[in-house]
Amino acid sequence: MNRGAIAEIDLNSISNNLRVIKDLSNNRPVIAVVKADAYGHGAVDISRKLVNEVDYLAVAFTGEARELRDSGINIPIIVLFDPDAADIFKYNLIPVIGDKKTAITLSKEAEKNNRNVSVHVKVDTGMGRLGFTENTTKEILEIANLRGISIDGVMSHFSEADLLDTSFAMMQINRFNAIKAELLNNGLNVRLFHIANSAAVATLPESRFDAVRPGLMLYGYSPIQKTEVRSQKSELIPAMTVKAKILALRRLPTDTPISYGRTFITKRDSLIGVIPIGYADGFSRRFSNNAEVLVSGKKVPVVGRVCMDLTMIDLTDVEHVEEGDEAIIIGRQGNESIDAAELALRADTIPYEILTSLGNMAKRVYNS
Ligand SMILES: *Cc1c(COP(=O)(O)O)cnc(C)c1O
């Protein structure tokens, strides 16, 4: 068989989540972030679902944009981190520019192609990653004057819009507003200012500007883990289910060590299931003795260390189970559910990493 983990992606959930985003952002234009293969959900299929409902797609690198273009996706694509000039023209992409050198390269390529390129300019208001920092307006105005370049958008990115204390995020919004005012005062007519990631869409109406730029929410998760926004969170539907079929069932007596390092030893006569998912499938080794999966509608514990391709689960308390039955790693079964946020807490990480790890390694199937 191929690798054992299957990621089932429900495309209707994506539409539902987009509606939640539009409601929260007062129907601003949406830049749908589909980088990292749509956070593990498959960028081509997700983008096909979104093309008629969003205004832009955003990817990290031009290679991702090329894949979308090759699949017939024609809406504007913003490339967040990779201004490869040749690809930008070849695939008709919108680069994000965070320094003058890149702008000059693009301008030369534009002249060579005898074409114009629309760009978005990135300003660093507090993320400390990429973008113009000093003399921001002056440099942006210089770029606007380069041949073949027209600045269609100005963007920035939050470093912590996911906290209850919104003071740093508000400071970033204030800086962004100041830059906007300065550019407009200098006669630069930029159509689209945007800064709102999912966290900001969920909690900061002041962050909406001319468009919103969510990723995580599209896939059904709120980046906010505070109880205050639970009601919003519940409207989102996680689009990804991850499952694997039980490979083997074994009756093992008391005092049997399970898996590498004997970190789990049975305390009773046990029924142990072996499932074909391991850390090579993105099921982190941190889940060793530290996660649950769903079998027959019941949460059962992972026992012993997670291996490269296999994981053991304790099925002793499950009444009816057979080899070949499904074990749900993320998803619902009966009245129970496990989501990527829960796994993230256990592995001391964030749902983003759980989704990209599991989703990008499993075989994907789609429901719509
Ligand atoms: C990934 C990313 C987003 C989307 O962030 P979410 O938290 O997933 O909504 C938006 N903007 C930029 C620049 C990003 O890198």
What is the tens place of the pLDDT at every residue in 178-204?
A: 999 999 999 999 999 999 999 999 999
User: Could you tell me if 201 and 278 lie in one domain?
Assistant: no
Residue 233: per-residue pLDDT: 47
pTM of the model as a whole: 0.95
Identify the domain containing residue 62 by its residue range: 11-221
Q: What's the mean per-residue pLDDT of the chain?
A: 95
pLDDT band at 234 (very low <50, low <70, confident <90, very high): low
Across residues 68-72, what is the average pLDDT? Answer: 98
Name the domain boundary from 221, 254, 278.
221
User: Could you tell me if 141 and 288 lie in one domain?
Assistant: no
Residue 352: per-residue pLDDT: 96
Assigned token pair, 318: 């499950």
Query: Ligand 1 centroid vs 213 CA: distance in angstroms?
Result: 7
pLDDT band at 43 (very low <50, low <70, confident <90, very high): very high
What pLDDT digit, counting tens, does each position of 329-346 carry? 999 999 999 999 999 999
Task: Choose among 162, 92, 153, 100: nearest CA to 131.
Answer: 100
Residue positions annotated with a catalytic role: 35, 260
pLDDT band at 124 (very low <50, low <70, confident <90, very high): very high
Which of 213, 219, 222 for a ligand 1 pocket mutation test, highest count of atoms within 8 Å of Cβ?
213
User: Is residue 214, in this structure, part of any structural domain at all?
Assistant: yes
User: Could you tell me if 344 and 272 lie in one domain?
Assistant: yes
Task: Look at residue 205 and give its three-state secondary structure.
Answer: helix
Where is average pLDDT lowest: 50-59, 148-157, 230-239, 260-269?
230-239
Name the domain boundary from 156, 189, 221.
221
Task: Choose among 332, 350, 343, 342: nearest CA to 288.
Answer: 343
User: Could you tell me if 84 and 122 lie in one domain?
Assistant: yes
Q: Is the pLDDT of residue 242 over 50?
A: yes
Residue 230: per-residue pLDDT: 45
Residue closest via CA to ligand 1's atom 6 equals 215
Residue 115: per-residue pLDDT: 95
Name the domain boundary from 191, 221, 251.
221
Ligand 1 atom closest to Cα of 122? 13
User: Could you tell me if 168 and 66 lie in one domain?
Assistant: yes
User: Is residue 234, in this structure, part of any structural domain at all?
Assistant: no
Name the strands in the sheet holding 56-59, side by side, starting at the edge strand that comes first in the sequence.
31-33, 56-59, 77-79, 94-97, 117-122, 149-155, 192-196, 211-212
Burial of 366 (0-12, 13-18, 19+ CB in 10 A): middle
Query: Ligand 1 centroid vs 319 CA: distance in angstroms?
Result: 44
Ligand 1 atom closest to Cα of 35? 1
What is the Cα–Cα distance from 25 to 214, expressed in whole angstroms? Answer: 10
Residue closest via CA to ligand 1's atom 15 equals 80
Residue closest via CA to ligand 1's atom 4 equals 215
Residue 227: per-residue pLDDT: 45
Hunting for tokens 């490979």 — which residue is that? 247
Number of domains present in the structure of the chain: 2
Across residues 2-12, what is the average pLDDT? Answer: 94
